[in-house]
Amino acid sequence: MKNKKHLAFYTTSQSFYKIIYLRPVANIAMAACDRSFQNDNQPAIVNYMQQKMISSLGIIYSYFESRGVYLLLLFSFLGFLDLTYLTILHYKNVIPPCSLINGCETVLTSKYSTIGSIPISLLGAGYYLAMIIISSILIYRKSLKYKAFLIFLTALGFIISIIYLSIQIFVLRQLCQYCAFSDLMALGVFTVSLYLCKTQL
């Protein structure tokens, strides 16, 4: 009866890892399972399950490692669509509808929304376009020469996103849902780029 409970616990922790790729949780679960089996004096089963767990984690790690570039491409593409949409509406003098946060008009018509006559959204769209190009290159070519540039570009984009988010919160005291989405994509791009540079490049 105890073995069935242990196996169920192991299966649940393994499934949890597969769903959200949270290695520390899976390691804690494996350690707990190990201690539980050791209390039952069943080291053979423990070793078998640990080997299966390590094997499964290795497969999952390889899966995400090989597809990390595609995740970078996805975040960049979504950010590009978002800011391209804002750029088009800017030149049409149209305020996009705000269905989630009532602050788009204040943010998008403020003095912080442009640099001279150039809208910030256009610069952001250019940033995401550059990331799309880099992501496309990395799918077919992995080289150390892209490492510094990738980290620099994504870190710069993330820092600028934090600055403009701070302006919205502390200066304008209004939030734009499209800008917030772009900030989220910038965070995603930066996080994935750090992961890629650590594991692949």
Q: Whole-angstrom Cα distance, residue 125 to residue 96?
A: 17
Instruction: Please tell me the predicted confidence (pLDDT) of residue 143.
Output: 67
Q: What is the CATH number of domain 67-199?
A: 1.20.1440.130
Phi–psi pair at 119, nearest 5 degrees: -70, 145
The encoded tokens of residue 21 equal: 């790729």
Instruction: Please tell me the predicted confidence (pLDDT) of residue 69.
Output: 85
Cα–chain-centroid distance for residue 2? 39
Instruction: Please tell me the predicted confidence (pLDDT) of residue 136.
Output: 86
pLDDT at 199 over 70: no
Q: Whole-angstrom Cα distance, residue 69 to residue 137?
A: 10
Digit-coded pLDDT (tens) for 80-118: 999 999 999 999 999 998 888 888 999 999 999 999 999
pLDDT at 158 over 90: yes
- Whether residue 132 contacts residue 73, with contact meaning beta carbons closer than 8 Å, is answered with yes
Domain ranges of the chain: 2-62, 67-199
Instruction: Please tell me the predicted confidence (pLDDT) of residue 51.
Output: 62
Q: Which residue has the higher pLDDT, 192 or 60?
A: 192
- Whether residue 71 contacts residue 199, with contact meaning beta carbons closer than 8 Å, is answered with no
